[in-house]
A and B are shown apart, each in its own frame.
Chain A
């Protein structure tokens, strides 16, 4: 599997798992209806506490990114099923604000930041096409 622990990161491990699932979805490495490993499989594979995986899956489910079907497993949800969470939009806004400030102090212009954002989108979408 493609999960890994980043020991250089300050983010708690369950957040890293959430982030990795999201990233793989965005890149098209995980597609709707695809089955994710069970809590038991993933925790054993990564040699980490099962509660950490449960916590990550619960949060992903809450955000509508995955669905658990009793007796069948955990799956990536269909994109149309994704819930729009106003709280998360607020978090993204904060995140962007930080990026804008960083960009300013790094000496780049507004235009250059927008171009950079475009590039990141292309990078993500480009990976989708390859698959």
Chain B
């Protein structure tokens, strides 16, 4: 097991290295300079500024410096906020994104499991059909459309929740729903399918035949077994929550890194773009690592496969 985890961590580092490299060279290919007022600055000013950002050095040297900085968690200085280290910028914003992402994930998985399970138990009834239709709609409506609708109808017209902002728990509800509906729909579909599989399998029939009540069967066998494969979906969910955050944070005025990422792209803030990309990748590889470890703990077959490879 330790060997397996070590191996996974080695892959993780390799992945991050590749991401860092791709990002670095993509950024160097980007047109435009970070300066707002290049035209109005004297040559001396430009030279000093380039020196401070290290632009006067050859490309490979910049690359080495950049990688060395990464190892120490130093992403450089932001271009759009003067004197602001990118690590500090990301640090001050990642909390909101992480909270929102986690809430959306919990919301999605929790209600997804419930809806999926109910649909499976009551399969081929109107309950099932309703759940299926809802989850397909949930999967098909883009989250930014949903966000606009929620904000207008629930927050402004009904006044149930704050329109935008970040700070109180009630402000997190609407963005959580907007972001969580995708995973919810996916989970519901997934749980329904896998639970139907379980419920019709031999050992469940045996358990029923033994005289266990439906509740016990579901609790002891069906639910647990259908939820194990759900762990594998955490990776894709993380990705979709990350991309979703870029628009949802914007609409609901949440000081998170998704919104920051879009802004740094629009303002050519390379150090922030690179830093955020790496943080996103780090988040994803960590989730994938946890997924793999958890999964191999639950299901030994995976562990065997993993350690042969």
User: A and B: real partners?
Assistant: no
